[in-house]
Structures are given as C-alpha cells and as structure tokens.
Amino acid sequence: MSDEPFDKEEFVAYFRDEAEELLQQIDGDLLRLEEFVDSGQADPEIVNSLFRALHTIKGSSGMLGFTEVQGLAHKLENLCDLLRKERMPLSEGSVEFLFSGRDFLTDLVQAAIGQSAPPSGLNEFTGRLDQFVAIYNETSNVIEGKAPDRSEGATPVGSEPMNEAEIAAFEAEIERMLAEAAATAAPTAPATPAESAAAPSAATAKAVPARGNGESADAKKGSAQGKRSSLAQTIRVDIDRLDALLNLVGELVINRTRISDIATTLGRLMGDRALNASIGLIGPLSKDLADSAALLARTTNEIQESIMKVRMVPIGQVFDRFPRTVRDVAKARGKEVQLQISGADTDLDKTIVDEVGEPLMHLLRNCVDHGIEAPDERERQGKPRMGTISLNAYHEGNQIIIEISDDGGGINLDKVRAKAIKNGLIGTEDRLTDRELIELIFTPGFSTAEEVSDVSGRGVGMDVVKRNITKLKGIFDVDSAPGQGTRFTIKLPLTLAIIQALLVRVVDELYAIPLDSVIESQRVEMPDVRTVHGSEVITLRGQVVPLLRIADFFELGGERDPEKVMIVIVGLQGRQVGLVVDSFEGEQEIVIKPLSDVVGRIPGISGATILGNGSISLIIDVHSLVSDAYAGGKVTRAEFSGV
C-alpha cells in the first residue's frame, strides 16, 4: 500500500467526491423507483442508472483497495440486476432494502476514507442480501423447472435485526414470493393488491428535476448521453485554488481603485493652469493613464465576476438529499408528505451552499414532524390526506431567497405561550404580540412537541438554525397562520467574499459598514436626539430608534459634536439602530479579509479590508452591535412593540 506509484490521497479525495455524487444520484433513483411500486414494474431507465452508479462505485473503490465498499456495491449491483432482468418484482420491500443498502454503502465509504467507524450490523445485512438474491435466483429456477431444495425453515434466523420494519417487510416479501412462485407459473409476480392496500406508501416524495445535468434530474431516454456530455464540460477544482485566485482578484480590485484614484488626482492637477504651463507634457500622459485605468477597471470587474461565477454552484446540490429525508421522516412518523422543489438551479457561492444544508434539513424535518398533521387529522379538517411541503429558491437582487412552507397546522401560539410560561421565559400576565410569540421558538431549549421524538423535538433546533443562518450573514423569518401552515424564509447573500460597504470615519479611523444592512444615513440636529432611561434615541417616521455611538462602543475617545450627529441607520430583522459616526466617506466595494485568530474575537468587528490607498479599514459587525444595543437593556422591550 505504501509504495503506491500514484498520489493516493488525491485519488481518495476524488473518490470521495465522486462517491458522494453517485450516492446522491442513487437516492434520487430509488425515490423515483418507489413511484413505480404500484405497477410492480420498474422503469428500466432508472434501474440502469442505478446499476451504472453502483458499478462505478464498485470500480473505483476496487482500484483504491476499499474491498468492503467494493463487495457491497457488487452485491447491490446483483440485486439491481435481478430487477433489471425482471426476475424480482418491484415492491416496497425491495425498494426499502435497496435504501438500506445505499445507507450501508454510504457508511462504508465514510469508513473507508477514514471519516467514521465502520457501520455495525453490516454482516447481517449482507447475509440477508445474499439470501434475497439467492432466493430470487432460485425462484427463477423453479419457474424454469428446477426443483427447489430450500424450504422456509432453511432461512437462518439473523441475529439482532437492524430495522424491524425493514426486515419484516423483507421477510414478508420472501414468503409471499415463495408462495406465489409455487402457485403460479407466471414469470414475474406483481405486487399483490392486498399488500399495497395494507401498507400504503406512507410518503411519496416527489423531487422536481433538480438540474439539467445528471440522470437523477432527468430519467428520460437519452439521459446517459446527456450525462456524458455534461461530464465533458465540467472539471473538478480544489476550492482552495479558487480561493487563492479570488484573493488575487481582490488584490487586483484594490489596485484598480488605487490607479483610478491616481488618475483622478492627476486629472485635477491638470486643471491647475500654472502647473500645466510648466509641465505641459503630462497632459497627454494623464489622459492615457485615465483611459488605461478605465480599461483596467472594466477588465477587473469582468474577471471578478467570472471568478465569482466559477464559485457559484446550483443550490440543487443541497436540495438533492432532501426528498429522501422527508420520505424517511414521514414514514417514521406515519405521515403522508410530498415535497415540491423549485428553483434548484439557483446559483449560490459554494461556501454558502456547504453551510446551508444543515439548517434547511432541520427546517424540513420540523415541517414534517411538527407542521404536517397526521393523515386522519388532515381528513377531518377537510385537507387532502397528503401534506405538501414546498421548497423554493430564487434570486432577488444581491440575495438568494429560500422559502420552505407547509400546509400543516401552523405554529400553535397557545402552546408556545403555555410552554414559555412553564419554562419561565415569560410571566402569565405578559401580553405578547403573535410575532413576539413566534420569536420565542428561537430560544435555546424551546420545543412544543408533546413527546420527544428522534426526529426533532429535542429542543435543540430552531435556535441553532437561526444562529447558523445569522453566521452566514443571512436573515431568517417565520410566518405562520393557524390551520393553514408555516413559512420559513431565509435570505442569504450570494457571496461572502466581496461586498458593498459604506465607509464612515470615526475619530481617526475608517470603518466599513456592510451596505446590505444599512437602511439610510442622515444628519440629525442635537435637539432631535432624546434620551430614554439615559440612552440616546431618535424618532424616525414614528418609530423610536436607539443610537449607538461607535466611538464609545470601541472606546476611541474623541470629542462630540454639540450641534448634530451623523447617523447610519442599520436594521436587522425589524430592529433598527442608529450608529453615530463622525462623517460619511462614500460607498465602496470591499474584499472581506478575516482578522487573524491571533487577534481573537473582537466584539463589533467582523473582519477587515484593504482600501485603495493601502490602508486598512475594519468592518463593523452590524449583527453584534444591534444585539448589543437591544440586549444591553438600554432600551426596554415595551418601547419597541411597534416594531
């Protein structure tokens, strides 16, 4: 192993990416396969796609010596082969079995690349897998006229079963199959109507085609061809290399600004007639510089845009695994749910895509678990038995909006109130608006679920979701209508690397405030600044807005202007704060650079940027300032109930 002639690490990394993609595809294929269960006949295109994916995994894991992965992939391939040759009917049991196989395969891949311990219960599973395949092969032999030498009793009892329901379904399947094989000479046995009725598919998760490429999105004829051509046009690039490239472009952007500055200054000097007379030669040179600067600016912008685009990936990459989750959760909770996905091809920066998956997954689980009612309950309310969750993504300006909505019962505000009182979050006499009640679900440890399930309801949830979204500079909002459903809205920036910022001067330093959180900036005369409980506030269109003096917050000293204040109104989730600065210094596109971890966490600062003249400007962390202004207890909550 040690004297591999190739760079194994690189191959392993490639294998990991490839396997991840293929396992995702297998999931998609299985979900679509499940829709054919009622007909008992699989779409050969889907089975072929499954077969190819497994085959590829088998091949590459074999090359790297991951024999366990290779072995399981081979066995699953055999199972698909039975489906393909129509020796095995498509049934709920067999699809469920394939799903488990896919999960084991995922665990094995993880174990092989050293990310986790090998899965337990694998041996039992492969044992059953072998039996399954053997029995169907024999069944075919029966049909072909050979005598069966295996009775039901020969099936050894497995040790600890992995999943009761799955094993039961599987065993029922075998029994039924054996019985049918004996009774009829038909080459393939369709799923009996009795069974379908007894165990209706609890969840039908329909994934709207995620993207134009890959078979998972498009099972139509010729999809294999489509895949091949899409493969030829893409290339895997290490994200670190892209980051390095982006960093360089950042430098270029900074220098572009600098050159433009020089050109402008030079141009102004040319206006000075006395100077111009003495050094007349500079005239044409200055014009050249200005032209060249303009050209540089244009090219740089284009390069920057292209690189940003390279980093953009469709959010569908994350959405792909959701149908499976929704299906599993729905099944476990005995609910009927369909997931409708749209906007999966909406592009988003890779780093954000990587981070947004977990929070979205959590919200979806919540929708299934808490939002959608049980089928019988829905029927009583005159709703269709099957609940609908829609997941929608689209661009709006410089942001991407992701909406998750369900047509379930909505957030039960009475329950929230009761729970909050029980937890001591609010008093029995407190009167809160609906909005404020909804906000309470973001409190750590808060859950209204009556019983703790393994899906959600452990009370770690909404607060984590909110924190993760906030970390991505996103905004998270909840709407709920009793009896009609809940809608979660997430707004995320398209990229975290380059942002528009408002530059402000405080004492003798320049600070950058991200423009997306700036509502407006204005000059306010001192008499219009009032105090409430000793804190300065202003009234803006009937709304009381607390002021926060940056110089005080950062302990910079400096003198106060007795006549006026310059205020930047920043807003975050409906809360507004007026940041008091010394002067406004214009808007600029800035490249965010993190402060070294040696500096530590600085409250109120989220990073730094380098300006055109080479000087450094610190970036103000609006989120922490707004929270500070409100949580600091300077202004009481009641005064802002109008927000």
**362 part of the active site:** no
- Give the range of 90-98, 406-414, 434-442, 606-614 binding other proteins by CB under 8 A: 606-614
The least CB distance from residue 129 to other proteins, in Å, is 46
Q: Which of 146, 483, 599, 641 binds other proteins (CB under 8 A)?
A: 599
**Least CB distance to other proteins at residue 416 (A):** 29
Q: Which is nearer to other proteins, 542 or 614 (CB)?
A: 614
**Which of 200, 334, 603, 632 touches other proteins by CB under 8 A?**
603
When binding is defined by CB under 8 A, the residue of 436, 463, 509, 587 that contacts other proteins is: 509
Q: Does 379 bind other proteins (CB under 8 A)?
A: no
Reading the block at residue 233, the tokens are: 């046009």
Out of 96, 366, 373, 403, pick the active-site residue. Answer: 366
Is 366 annotated in the active site? yes
Q: Catalytic annotation on 77?
A: yes
Least Å distance, CB 556 to other proteins, is: 6
Q: How many Cβ atoms sit within 10 Å of the Cβ of residue 417? A: 18
Minimal distance, residue 254 CB to other proteins, in Å:
7
Torsion angle in degrees (nearest 10) through CA of 360, 362, 364, 365? 160
Stretch that binds other proteins, among 34-42, 372-380, 567-575, 610-618 (CB under 8 A): 610-618
- Cα separation, 110 vs 99, whole angstroms: 17
| Neighbour count for residue 555 (Cβ, 10 Å) | 6
Decide if residue 555 touches other proteins (CB under 8 A). Answer: yes
Rounded CA-CA distance 89/359 in Å is: 38
Q: How far is the CB of 300 from other proteins (least distance, A)?
A: 15
Q: Which long-range contacts (CB under 8 A, 24 or more apart) does 634-643 make?
A: 634/533, 634/534, 634/535, 634/546, 635/532, 635/533, 635/535, 635/537, 635/544, 635/546, 636/533, 639/532, 639/544, 640/544, 640/575, 641/433, 641/436, 642/542, 642/543, 642/544, 643/543, 643/574, 643/575, 643/576
602 binds other proteins (CB under 8 A): yes
- Distance, in Å, from the CA atom of 104 to the CA atom of 173, rounded to the nearest integer, reads 21
Q: What is the DSSP string of 536-548?
A: EEEEETTEEEEEE
Among candidate residues 21, 55, 78, 276, the one labeled active-site is 55
- Quick one: tokens of 603? 């409250």
In the shown chain, the binding pattern of residues 231 to 270 toward other proteins, with x for contact by CB under 8 A and - for none, equals: ----------------x--xx--x----------------
Q: Which of 343, 387, 408, 604 binds other proteins (CB under 8 A)?
A: 604
Q: Does 630 bind other proteins (CB under 8 A)?
A: no
Q: Is 571 in the site for other proteins (CB under 8 A)?
A: no
Residues 6+ apart with CB under 8 A from 289: 259, 262, 263, 266
Task: State which of residues 5, 542, 614, 633 lies at the interface with other proteins (CB under 8 A).
Answer: 614
| By the rule CB under 8 A, 618 interacts with other proteins | yes
Please name the residue that has the structure tokens 């940056």. Answer: 550
Establish if 549 lies at the interface with other proteins (CB under 8 A). Answer: no
Q: How far is the CB of 120 from other proteins (least distance, A)?
A: 37
Residue 315, SS3 per DSSP: coil
Please report, as ranges, the residues that interact with other proteins according to CB under 8 A: 247, 250-251, 254, 509, 553-556, 593-605, 608, 610, 614-618
Q: Which sequence positions are flagged as catalytic?
A: 55, 77, 366
